[in-house]
Amino acid sequence: MTDSPSRVAVVTGAGRGIGAAVAARLAEDGFAVGLLDLDEAGVKQGAEAIVAKGGKAVGVALNVSDAEQVDAAVTRVADELGPPVVLVNNAGITRDNLIFKMTEQEWDSVLDVHLKGSFLMTRAVQKYMTQEKYGRIVNLSSTSALGNRGQVNYSAAKAGMQGFTKTLAIELGKFNVTANAIAPGFIATDMTAATAERLGMSFEDFKAAAASQIPVQRVGTPDDIAHLTSYLVSEGAGFVSGQVVYVAGGPKD
């Protein structure tokens, strides 16, 4: 790390998994990082690890679907680290069920975290980006956007993230702000481990079964997503906007 001023990135869902890996990678790239998550212990631990390596970071607990909490968290990051010009909307949950059994609460909670949360976070951060005439937004979609049994809520949310991304690219492009989406396939995280448990399978068997259907013959890791995020928020990605990149070990439509 250098003593030169760092650009500031905000990562939601940064308490574990993909979000934690992305936050750590952006810190390695020289960003000061605001780690946001409902899991206060997770983001504080992540921020402490970044600071211990010589970086700048702050961990803030919030519910991304609560407008007041979002505004307060973004203001705190701006006050402590500087104006945020990179936003990674990664916070997400699953509440899987078949359509005939899915409750309104299961539908609402998933749409609230993914779509409303991303809307609130982007609305709060874009004012700093437009003032700075520079910004990078990365939204986490999923291959489930193409349809996945038992995930009508999650699929709808992740498909919505793609339309959200493309519209942000159109609206914010004139301010030198790009917006892109990453759509992961099978990534080995606590969330996919929980799915294996729900299905009554060991996580190793679950990963092996998934890998057998993936052209590169392995499942993804959070670092796979962090690598692409690092590029999309870089100076060199300034002419890449409104795109959805599938990171799934093979082609997706």
Percent of the residues in the chain that have a pLDDT greater than 90, as a whole number = 93
- Model confidence band, residue 91 (pLDDT cutoffs 50, 70, 90): very high
Could you tell me the two tokens for 205? 């068997």
Collapse the DSSP code of 19 into the 3-class scheme (helix H, G, I; strand E, B; otherwise coil) and give the result: helix
Is 128 one of the annotated active-site residues of the chain? no
The structural domains of the chain, ordered by start, are 8-185+225-245 (3.40.50.720), 187-219 (no CATH)
Q: What is the mean pLDDT of residues 141-146?
A: 98
Element counts in the chain: helices (H) and strands (E): 9, 7
- Model confidence band, residue 4 (pLDDT cutoffs 50, 70, 90): very low
Cα separation, 180 vs 169, in Å, equals 8
Average pLDDT over all residues of the chain: 96
- Model confidence band, residue 5 (pLDDT cutoffs 50, 70, 90): low
Question: Active site residue: 128, 154, 231, 246, which one?
Answer: 154
Question: Which one-letter DSSP state was computed for residue 70?
Answer: H
Cα separation, 68 vs 74, in Å, equals 10
Residue 169: enclosing H or E segment and its boundaries? helix 152-172
> Would the pLDDT of 226 be above 60?
yes
Look at residues 136, 135, 152 and name the one whose alpha carbon lies nearest to residue 144.
Answer: 152
Strands (E), 90-243: 135-140, 177-184
> Would the pLDDT of 189 be above 80?
yes
**Residues 6+ away with beta carbon under 8 Å from 249:** 185, 186, 214, 215, 216, 217, 218, 219, 220
User: How are beta strands 8-12 and 84-89 bridged, if at all?
Assistant: parallel
pLDDT (tens digit per residue) in 19-41: 999 999 999 999 999 999 999 99
Question: For residue 194, what pLDDT is reported?
Answer: 85
pLDDT (tens digit per residue) in 111-137: 999 999 999 999 999 999 999 999 999
Q: What is the Cα 163 distance to its own chain's centre?
A: 16
Percent of the residues in the chain that have a pLDDT greater than 70, as a whole number = 98
Q: What is the mean pLDDT of residues 142-151?
A: 96
Question: For residue 198, what pLDDT is reported?
Answer: 82
- Model confidence band, residue 3 (pLDDT cutoffs 50, 70, 90): very low
Question: For residue 2, what pLDDT is reported?
Answer: 41
Cα separation, 18 vs 89, in Å, equals 11
Q: What is the mean pLDDT of residues 157-178?
A: 98
